[in-house]
């Protein structure tokens, strides 16, 4: 198993995204996802990334992808740029990898098919806050979101332990929204809406409305994270 540095700055990204598209997984910044890579084209993608900047982009396939999965089906316009945190090559030549989401990206223009995998010119989408958003207001929203998240989670002691760690950690409201959005079970369109929303207060409002409208939200994640097969 090879561990890699996790620090990321926008200068690390050339703007050319190696896209690993999936039909039903929406990745978010600030969270980790384990994956098993076995298709030859995606093994080639990860091998290039490992030798270069260790960056790959988890994208989402647009509706109708089933008819052209082996080709280049349409992609949703927002994706998550990820850094390879750890990777292990198996005797069969496949890879077990752990990805850390680092930034939202907008997919702008796909390059011609010169490689086995897809590459798309992309732009980093930074979080934004209104200029008049004060620290007390942000802190109050963070506490509201944590409380709603805790009330909505299944009554599992281990999940409460993890939430208590969040309560005591120094994370921003934007980071918290991404952790919550990734963790809870929401429909694909809602997750994509949250990924595409750069306004942190808008993301918070969407989550508060969603959590407030459900008595209990099923957790979509376990710890350690489950493997997602491509």
pLDDT at residue 132, as a whole number: 84
pLDDT at residue 225, as a whole number: 42
**Quick count: other Cβ atoms within 10 Å of Cβ 14?**
11
Q: Helix, strand, or coil here: 50? A: helix
CA distances from 150 to 161, 184, 217 (A): 10, 11, 10
d(CA 124, CA 103): 7
pLDDT at residue 162, as a whole number: 66
Radius of gyration in angstroms for the set of CA atoms belonging to the chain, rounded to a whole number? 18
Digit-coded pLDDT (tens) for 144-158: 998 888 887 766 556
Higher pLDDT residue, 224 or 56? 56
Domain range annotation of the chain: 2-125, 135-212
Q: CATH 2.30.130.40: does it fit domain 2-125? A: yes
pLDDT cut 90: percent of the chain above it: 60
**Quick count: other Cβ atoms within 10 Å of Cβ 114?**
6
Query: What band does 216 get if pLDDT is binned at 50, 70 and 90?
Result: very low
pTM of the model: 0.86
Query: What band does 105 get if pLDDT is binned at 50, 70 and 90?
Result: very high
- Among candidates 226, 219, 223, 225, which has minimal Cα distance to 155? 219
Q: Is 54 left (phi over 0), alpha (psi -120 to 50) or beta?
A: left
């Amino acid at each position: 198993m090879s561990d890699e540095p996790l620090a990321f700055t926008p200068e690390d990204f050339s703007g050319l995204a190696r896209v690993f598209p999936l039909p039903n997984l929406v990745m978010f910044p600030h969270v980790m996802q384990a994956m098993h890579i076995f298709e030859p084209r995606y093994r080639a993608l990860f091998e290039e990334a490992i030798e270069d900047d260790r960056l790959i982009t988890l994208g989402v396939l647009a509706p109708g992808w089933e008819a052209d999965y082996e080709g280049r089906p349409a992609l949703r316009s927002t994706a998550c740029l990820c850094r390879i945190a750890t990777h292990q090559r198996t005797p069969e030549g496949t890879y077990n990898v752990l990805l850390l989401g680092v930034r939202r990206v907008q997919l702008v223009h796909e390059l011609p098919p010169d490689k086995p995998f897809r590459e798309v010119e992309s732009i980093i989408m930074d979080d934004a806050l209104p200029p008049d958003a004060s620290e007390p207001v942000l802190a109050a929203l963070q506490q509201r979101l944590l409380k709603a998240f805790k009330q909505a989670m299944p009554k599992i002691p281990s999940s409460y332990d993890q939430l208590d760690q969040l309560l005591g950690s120094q994370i921003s409201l934007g980071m918290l929204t991404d952790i919550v959005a990734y963790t809870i079970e929401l429909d694909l369109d809602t997750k994509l809406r949250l990924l595409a929303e750069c306004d942190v207060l808008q993301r918070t409002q969407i989550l508060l409305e969603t959590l407030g409208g459900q008595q209990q939200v099923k957790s979509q994640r376990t710890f350690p994270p489950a493997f997602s097969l491509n």
